[in-house]
Amino acid sequence: MVFINCIMQVHGLKDRTQDLRKSLNDSLEGDIRDFLINEAELHTYDDLTKVNPVTPSTVLKCLQARYSAKVFYTHAGCTLVALNPFQPIPHLYSLDVMREYHTAPQPQEFKPHIFIVAEEAYRNVQGQVEPINQSLVVSGESGAGKTWTSRCLMKYYATVATSSQKCQDTVEKIERRVLDSNPVMEAFGNACTLRNSNSSRFGKYIQLQLNGSQLLVGASVQTYLLEKTRVAFQAPTERNFHIFYQMMKGATEKQRLEWMLPSEQDFAWLPHAEKTLEEDCLRETVEAMINLGIDERKRTQILAGLLQLGNVYFSPASEEAQPCDLDGHSKGLICFSADLLQVPLDELQSCLTVRTLLAGKQSVLKPCSQSECGVRRDCLAKVIYAQLFDWLVTFINNSMCADSSMWCNFIGLLDVYGFECFLLNNLEQLCINYANEKLQQHFVAHYLKAQQEEYVTEGLQWSFIRYQDNQGCLDLIEGSPSSIFSLLNEECRLNRVSDAKQFRVRLQKELSDNTSISWDKLSKEPHFTVAHYAGNVSYQIEGMMEKNKDPVPPEIISVLQKSQDSLLHSLFADGDRESEGSRGHSKVVTVVSKFKNSLESLMKILHSTTPHYTRCIKPNPDCRPLTFKKEEVIAQLEACGIVETINISALYMFCAVFLSFCVPPRQAWMDALAEAELDDAEDFMENEASSVLPKLDPLLKERGSVQLSSIQEPVLVRGWPIGLAMASAPSVTVSLTATGFQRIMSMMACLKSPFRHGGYKVKTNQFDQGVASIRAQPRGSIKMHLQRSPLLYADMHPVHKTDVVTGFNQILLERT
C-alpha cells in the first residue's frame, strides 16, 4: 500500500512538473507573439539586448527585418553582428562617414557600424588603460564578409590615425603601404571557393603600430597556414589563386610573349577561367606591388613557369627499370617551364622522374612510377609558391614595419579562414576548423564565462545561462596524451607507408571515449567525423598523413638551388633543411605541429590584449544580394553562441541600470561595506600618526585592494565604493592597474571622460576639497587595484548636449 502511495505521489509530481513546464512554454510563446506582432518596428532594434524575450526566433526576425531595410550592422551586447549584403554599399564606408564616427563625442549613439568597433579600440589606446594593446577579431564562416570587414578596418585606421600634420610625408607613405599590402596578399592568398568568391586561403594577423601620439607609424603581418595544395589541385567548381587568373586576363601582348602564355592555351591548373570576377583585375595588384617596391615582372614570370608545369604529364616507361616518358606536348611545355624558372632542363626532368636512395655510403637511382612523377611535379609547384608567398610577406613587412623605438602600442586585426565543411574535407579543413574552435573558446572565455562568473563575485543572484563549451572537441584534436594531432604526428614519425584504414582503426581504439568523434559504419572510404561547435564535419583520412609530412624530395631542392633567377635561387639557398632527411631518420616537423605552435603564439597575443569581436553572418549560401535565408542564418547564430551572448549582456545591462537607481534589501550589505571601509581608513590614519604600521584585518583582505600612505600591503576594497571614492577625490594622485575585460570597462567608466573634450572631469559631489569622509582624508598618493565593478553598460560617456547626466555615473560625474 505504501509502495502504491509512493508511485501515486511520483506521478502527481510529474504531472505538476509537466503542467508547470506547459504553463511556462505557453507564457513564453505568448511573449514571443506579443513581441513579433508589431512587425513594422522590428528593424528599429539596433541592439539585440533590447529584444524581449530573447529567443532564436525573435533575434532572427529582428535581423531579417533590418536586412530587408538594408541595415547590415546590429549590436548584440558586447559583439557586433555584420550581415553580408553581397553588393557594394559605397556610401556606408566613405571618408565622410569615417570622420563622422571618429570625431563624434559618443560614437555609440550612432547607428551600429564596424567603425564604432574600430573607434572604441582606438580610444582605448588613447586612454592608456591596461591592457592598452587591442585586438579586433573578425570571425564567421567562409563567405560571411570577414575579408571585406578587415579591409574596412585597415582603411579606417589608415585614415583616422594619420590626421596629424607632423611628418606628413612619412605618415602618408606608411598609410599607402599598409593599404597596398592588402590587394597583394589577397591576389596571392585568396581564391574562389564553393561558398565564397574571395575566400582567404590563409590566416593573417595585421599589427598596426602606433606611437605615443596614437599616430600610425608602421605595420606588420603574421600569416598562418597558406593552402598551398590549391596551386596543383582545385576541387570541382573551385578555382586557383586569384593571381593566376589576373595574369591570364590582364596581361598585355608583350607580357604574354615574355611569360610564354598564348591567349589560346588552356591550363590544367586554371579551372573555370571563363568565370569573370571582380578580383581578376591585374592592374590594381601590379600598382600595389610597384608602390611596395616589388619587381612584379620577375615574380609573375615564376608563376607562368608553374602554369606551364601543370600541363606536363607522364606516360609509363617503354622499358622496365627506365624513367617515365613525357607524353605528347609535354616535352615542349617542360622546356617553357625550365626557361621561365631558369633551371637546367635535363635536371628538371630528372628530379621529377628519378629519385635517389642511399644504400650505406652509396647512392642508388630508382625510377619513379607514373603516379609518383605527378606527385613530384605537384610538390615542385607547391614548394615554389609557398616560398614565394612567404618572401612576399617578409618583403611587405620590411617595407612598412617601424623600428621598435618608434612605436609603443598596437591594434591587431585578425582575419582567419572561416569554418569550412565541403563534400571532401582533409587536413586543410581540419586545421582551419581547429583554428575556429580556438577562437570560439577565446570568445566564450572572455565574454560568456567571465561575465557570468563576475556576477557571482559581485553578489548578484544569478542563474547560469547554458552555453556551448567546446573543450571536448579541442581535447579531441590537440589534447594529451592522445588526440588526432598526436596520432597523426606519431604516424609520420614511424617513417612507413601510410595506411588510411589502419589509421582509422587506431583512431577508434585511442579516441572512442571522446563523444566529439564518430564514424559512419556504412562509408566505404576511411574517415572520421568531428562534432564541431558549428556542426559536424566528416574528414577523409586518405592522403592526410602525407600532407602532414609535407615532404620535399632533395632532388627538387637541388635543382632550384641551381636556378639563374636570383630570387628563386635565394629562396632555396638553405633549402636542405626543408627537404626530406637524406638519412630518412631526421626529426620530422609536421604541418599540424607548425600550425599548432603558430596558433598558440597567436592566442597568447589575443589573451594579452583587449578583444573586440565582430561576428560576420552569411545570409544565404549562394551569395545572392539582399537574400535572407532563415535556416542559413539561424544555424550560424546558434553555432557561434550569439543568443547566449545577448541573454547575458541583456541581464547585465538590466542589473547595472537597476542598481544605479535603487538599492534593494537583497543589497543592504553594500552600505555596510562602504561604511566599514571609511571607518577602516580612519584607523589607518590614526596608526600612521604614531608611525606604527597596523596589522591588516583578514576581513579587509577579502574585499579588494587599496593602499593608503605608508601601508605596505594592499587592503581589499570592493569596486563599487572605490568608484565613489574616486568621484570624491579630485586633488589626489591616483595610480591604477587592472586586468580583465570587466575591470578595464569599469575603469574606463570612471576615467574616460577627461580624455574627451574637457566637458567633464572627476570631481567631488559633496565638497570642493577632500574626499567623501573628512575622517578618511589621505596623505600622499593612493594606489588602487580595481577588482570588481557593475559598470559596464551604464552611461560611460555622458551626453555632451544636455545638462543632465543619468545612470550610475550621476554619482561619479558633475558638469564643470
Active site residues: 142-143, 147, 196, 199-200, 418, 420
C-alpha 673/C-alpha 724 separation (Å) is 12
* CA pseudo-torsion sign 631, 636, 638, 639: positive
C-alpha 96/C-alpha 180 separation (Å) is 21
- Of the chain, the end-to-end C-alpha distance in Å amounts to 80
Q: Is 144 annotated as a binding residue?
A: yes
Cell numbers 568597433: residue? 117
- Identify residue 172 by its one-letter amino acid code: E
* Of residues 369, 370, 324, 379, the one with CA closest to residue 349: 324
Cell numbers 591567349: residue? 263
* Of residues 166, 147, 788, the one with CA closest to residue 451: 788
Q: Could you tell me the three cell numbers for 499?
A: 595506411
C-alpha 64/C-alpha 629 separation (Å) is 9
Helices (H), 319-369: 330-341, 345-353
Q: Is 212 annotated as a binding residue?
A: no
**Around 215, how many Cα atoms within 13 Å sit in the side-chain half-sphere?**
16
Q: Is 142 annotated as a binding residue?
A: yes
SS3 446: helix
Helices 630-639, 642-661: crossing angle, 10 deg rounding: 70
Q: Is 162 annotated as a binding residue?
A: no
Q: Is 147 annotated as a binding residue?
A: yes
Q: Is 250 annotated as a binding residue?
A: no
* Of residues 625, 649, 642, the one with CA closest to residue 139: 642
Q: Is 705 annotated as a binding residue?
A: no
C-alpha 337/C-alpha 301 separation (Å) is 10
Q: Is 780 annotated as a binding residue?
A: no
CB contact at 8 A, 385 and 228: yes
* Of residues 600, 605, 612, the one with CA closest to residue 741: 612
CB contact at 8 A, 744 and 610: yes
CB contact at 8 A, 106 and 797: yes
Q: Which residues are annotated as a binding site for ATP?
A: 140-147
Q: Which residues are annotated as a binding site?
A: 140-147
